[in-house]
Amino acid sequence: MAGTRIGVIGCAGRMGRMLIADIVASEGCELAGGAAKPGSAAVGRDLGELTGVGRVGIAATADARQVLRDSDVAIDFTTPDATASHAALAAELGRPVVIGTTGLSGEQEAAIRRAAERVPVVWAANTSLGINLLLGLVEQVAARLGPEWDIEIMEMHHKAKVDAPSGTALALGRTAAAARGAVFDEVAQRGRDGITGPRKAGAIGFAALRGGDNVGEHDVIVAGLGESLELTHRATNRAIYAKGAVRAARWLVTRPPGLYGMKEVLGL
């Protein structure tokens, strides 16, 4: 029986290569194709050789439309502008898509929501099991501990990461705000510098660190008077994100149109 045909959009990046390797190694999956940005040195190269898993007989292309056509479901880890465009293409072609791109603007997020009206979409800032369990814990803690408990979110990533705070940190903050019935944009404090005055009650603070080859660390600190609680997740291998995204793709292919998250994929 043929497996789920999965296409990778953004196949030349770190995550794209790991996705290809995981798809090739996973029972019940078939690699349908891979798209890189036009002009990339990866275009024309065998996807298996690009990834280091051996020749698979499928060359990387610059044509995302063709990859979507050839796939049962596609996974997109690219850039915000590209992702918004690919979401529209997926909707036009009737193809489910898993989106792991972070740093999207409000307009780009709206493009994803529009696509989800026509096709099933999993949109997740982080596809690891551990982070999604952490999101559930943060929801419980924020709901039980009121605004007199201060929430601070600290994250660290490799020096090449271009957006800050990370999409995962923002997802943790949004989860905490929602659990307290607060509007995230009204309570989020993205950075502090100089004479800032006392901390605002109910604020959710963020700190972003960058350096080396750090795969990803996230700490949620809930500080009260006389005690504090810290919830931490540390990633040591990007393969966890690839495995989660492939799992999401296989889950998504039979779903009706709509916007889903890893919470639904993992049954949390």
Contact 219, 172 (CB under 8 A): no
Under 8 Å CB-to-CB from 104, ≥6 apart: which residues? Answer: 80, 83, 84, 112
> Using alpha carbons only, what angle is made at residue 114 by residues 262 and 178, rounded to the nearest 5 degrees?
50
What's the mean pLDDT in 20-33?
95
Strands 228-235, 216-223: pairing is: antiparallel
Task: Report whether CATH 3.40.50.720 matches the domain 4-127+238-266.
Answer: yes
What is the per-residue pLDDT across 214-241, written as a single tens digit (0 to 9) for each? 999 999 999 999 999 999 999 998 889 9
- Residue 176 has phi, psi (to 5 degrees) of -65, -45
CB 155 within 8 A of CB 165: yes
Per DSSP, helices labelled H in 35-154 are 47-51, 64-70, 80-93, 106-116, 129-144
Nearest of 79, 73, 66, 62 to residue 19 by alpha carbon:
73
Q: Which of 125, 81, 75, 83 is nearest to 235 (CA)?
A: 125
How many beta carbons lie within 10 A of that of residue 166, not counting itself? 24
Cα 50 to Cα 56: distance, rounded to the nearest angstrom:
10
The pTM (predicted TM-score) of the whole model is 0.81
Known catalytic residues are: 157, 161
Contact 46, 86 (CB under 8 A): no
Q: Per CATH, is 129-235 categorized as 3.30.360.10?
A: yes
53-67, pLDDT tens digit by residue?
A: 999 999 999 999 999
Q: pLDDT tens digit string along 92-133?
A: 999 999 999 988 999 999 999 999 999 999 999 889 989 999
Mean pLDDT of 133-159: 95
What are the Cα distances from residue 253, in Å, to 115, 129, 258? 15, 20, 12
Domain boundaries, the chain: 4-127+238-266, 129-235
